[in-house]
Amino acid sequence: MEMKTETIFDVANSHFSEIAPKYKALRTTDLDPIEHIINHLRKKSGNTMSDVGCGDGRYSFELLKSLDDDSFLHCIDYNEDMIKYLKSYLQDNNILNFCARPGHANKLPLESNSMDCIVTFNAIHHFDLPRFLAEVYECLKDDGHAFIYTRLRNQNSRNIWGQYFPLFAEIEDRLFEFDELQYAVKKAEMKIDHTQVFGHNRTSNLNSLVNKAKNNHYSTFTLYSKNEFEKSLEVFEQNIRDNFEDIDKIQWQDENILLEISK
């Protein structure tokens, strides 16, 4: 069982190394959860924070550009290529109040009782959830908060990929449902103070969607065999043509959930 977990992890790590240079162009940054978190953080100045699974820094940038200069963000990601691009991105935008280093969500490189806030965006399904939450509990100050932004399995099944790309919802078994997250948070001796579901209206064209799939903009696509992916992509293209009148203006809604957690 451990060998299987390591293999899945290695595949994901390789995927993120390959996609790091083009990640910003392939993924969409949702600003509404950032605004919610910023409103919480503005209640005090000089926040010490961590973005776990920070990737190439898209969300780290949005956090830091909206907070006072006395705040400081620890950017942590296991993939060193993502960390490299994050550093360049933030420094190129004249943001200096951060540090970035490789680290595992199961053993955060943070001191105990040191964080006012820990955040993670669209990354929780790559973590060992109980071990990550245990680390969150250890590293948060007594009055600290964690924010988890993710999509649930049922939300994943309703987006354009889950509805029209064969096997997408079935093959992506790493996502959680809310009751699973709620149980894990309770087991970690923390509580969910607030949840908010965000619906994001998207518009794209068929060529762009096909390009995203071919470039593995969701790591889910790396879970397909080459043959499975090619066949599924053909069916996806036909499904889109059959279900949307204008393939140059395809509209759908993505859903995500934000959990606010305290000790």
pLDDT at residue number 44 = 87
Is 97 a member of any domain? Answer: yes
Q: Is residue 248 part of a domain?
A: no
Query: Each residue of 82-131: pLDDT tens digit?
Result: 999 999 999 999 999 999 999 999 999 999 999 999 999 999 999 999 99
* Any domain includes 236: no
Question: 226 in a domain, yes or no?
Answer: no
Tokens 């949840």 correspond to 195
In a domain, 58, yes or no: yes
For 118-166, write each residue's pLDDT tens digit. Answer: 999 999 999 999 999 999 999 999 999 999 999 999 999 999 999 999 9
**How many folded domains does the chain comprise?**
1
From 34, 118, 114, 123, select the one nearest 78 (Cα to Cα). 123
Q: Identify whether 28 is part of a domain.
A: yes
CATH label of the domain that carries residue 99: 3.40.50.150
CA distance 237 to 42: 45
Instruction: Tell me the residue range of the domain where 71 lies.
Output: 2-162+171-203+254-262
Does 196 fall in a domain? Answer: yes
Band (pLDDT 50/70/90 cuts) for residue 6 is very low
Q: Is 212 within a domain? A: no
Does pLDDT of 21 surpass 70? no
Q: Which SS3 state, helix, strand or coil, does residue 1 take?
A: coil
By the 8 A CB rule, do 45 and 70 touch? yes
